[in-house]
Amino acid sequence: MDYNQAYALNRALRTIGMRHRSLAATELNRLGLAIGQESLIMELANQGPRTQAQLATAAGCEPPTITSAVQKLEALGLVSRRPSTKDRRATVVELTVKGESLLEGLSAAWIHLAESTVAGLSRTKVEDMIETLDDLAASLETAARDLDARRPT
Amino acid sequence: MDYNQAYALNRALRTIGMRHRSLAATELNRLGLAIGQESLIMELANQGPRTQAQLATAAGCEPPTITSAVQKLEALGLVSRRPSTKDRRATVVELTVKGESLLEGLSAAWIHLAESTVAGLSRTKVEDMIETLDDLAASLETAARDLDARRPT
DNA sequence: TAATTAATGTTAGACGCCTAACTAATCGCT
DNA sequence: AGCGATTAGTTAGGCGTCTAACATTAATTA
């Protein structure tokens, strides 16, 4: 690949990441949430109670990030924690009633975010966009996995 | 747009942002740089000496981010600062010789980053990917602009 | 010209995310 | 059965980014 293509690709991805994150943050602020917390709430809503390790895998981030996010969600009363009965190392996280009451607003906010994200597209259909982004997300996941498989212990 | 589409879109964008940023960070770390600094260096290489306000606009971030990034680049000896002669508020930032010596490695790293980003694509050609991402980046820029135009003083 | 408004850059403090280092518990192998 | 290796979670400290508040200088307008 030549430099101009690489530059264009990386630059587009940088601005996409920053802008989408920023729009997401303003949507979530209206609900009293910070960015990152939504992915835990949605995962708990979809899958039921999960350990923090499962949440880390689902959210694609590292354990310390989960520790801190769960602590804050617990302080907000949106989530509860209890020790796992089967594995005494593990902590099971569960949505509280108050947490579930957020789900409706969260869905609306997420639709609004997606709509403003694609509102200004000039030559791409939304279905094609989603298709393309899924392909890219998968490619980046394998690139990331390959990278730290190559990183020794 | 229905919720499932919105969820898929937002989720793909979240992972794309996180993974690409993370890959970029490991590339830059090899050069002794942190993420974000590369966009200033590249802008200075492309456009010549710039004020911090111009750098903020080009990088798509806020003035305090530039202040801190420029301070660190200056401490590394990659960049020099001098007061503008025409506007006594402004600071002009310029690449040093040591900064220019990084450009070659930076280009190589950026090509490598782009290649690993797209290496795992299964159903999208690179040219189409760039086209689609440019469209999306532009859409998100206008969404962000509209948002804080709506935010009053 | 004088007064108001706008722009440049800084500091302070917050956020999410990261890595490194650690404890405690479980797993795996001999 | 026991010991080394792995896994779950936490703490400490770093990064880039943001907003809010501020001082300084420039531009606008009365």
Cβ contact A118–B136 (<8 Å): yes
CATH code 1.10.10.10 for B3-120 = yes
pLDDT at A147: 85
pLDDT exceeds 90 at position B152:
no
Collect all residues of chain B within an 8 Å Cβ-Cβ radius of residue A22: 144
| Whether the Cβ atoms of residue A143 and residue B19 lie closer than 8 Å to each other | yes
The per-residue DSSP string of A46-57 comes to HH-SEEHHHHHH
CA separation for the pair B105, B136 (Å, rounded): 29
pLDDT per residue over B55-67, tens digit each? 999 999 999 999 9
Residue A20 · residue B13 · CB < 8 Å? yes
- Chain B closest-CA separation from residue A146 CA (Å): 10
Each residue's pLDDT tens digit, B116-142 = 999 999 999 999 999 999 999 999 999
What H or E segment, with its residue span, contains residue A82? Answer: strand A79-83
Q: Find chain B residues with C-beta within 8 A of A24's C-beta.
A: 10, 14
What are the tens digits of pLDDT across the range B65-76? 999 999 999 999
Q: State residue A149's pLDDT score.
A: 79
What is the pLDDT confidence band of residue B35, given thresholds at 50, 70 and 90? Answer: very high
What are A9-53's pLDDT values in tens digits?
Answer: 999 999 999 999 999 999 999 999 999 999 999 999 999 999 999
* For residue A151, pLDDT beyond 80: no
The percentage of chain B sitting over the pLDDT mark of 70, rounded to a whole number, equals 98
**What tens digit of pLDDT does each residue of A80-137 get?**
999 999 999 999 999 999 999 999 999 999 999 999 999 999 999 999 999 999 999 9
Residue B57 approaches strand C within 7 Å at CB: no
Q: Has residue A78 got a pLDDT over 60?
A: yes
Please give the Cα distance from B21 to B1 (Å, whole number).
Answer: 28
Residue of B93, B59, B70, B33 whose CA lies nearest to A15: B59
DSSP string, B20-87: HHHHHHHHHHHTT--TTHHHHHHHHHHH-SEEHHHHHHHHTS-HHHHHHHHHHHHHTTSEEEEE-SS-
Angle formed by the axes of helices A3-30 and B103-118, to 10°? 70
Domain positions in chain B: 3-120, 124-153
Spatial contact of B53 and B97, defined as CB atoms under 8 Å apart? no
Average pLDDT over residues B15-29: 97
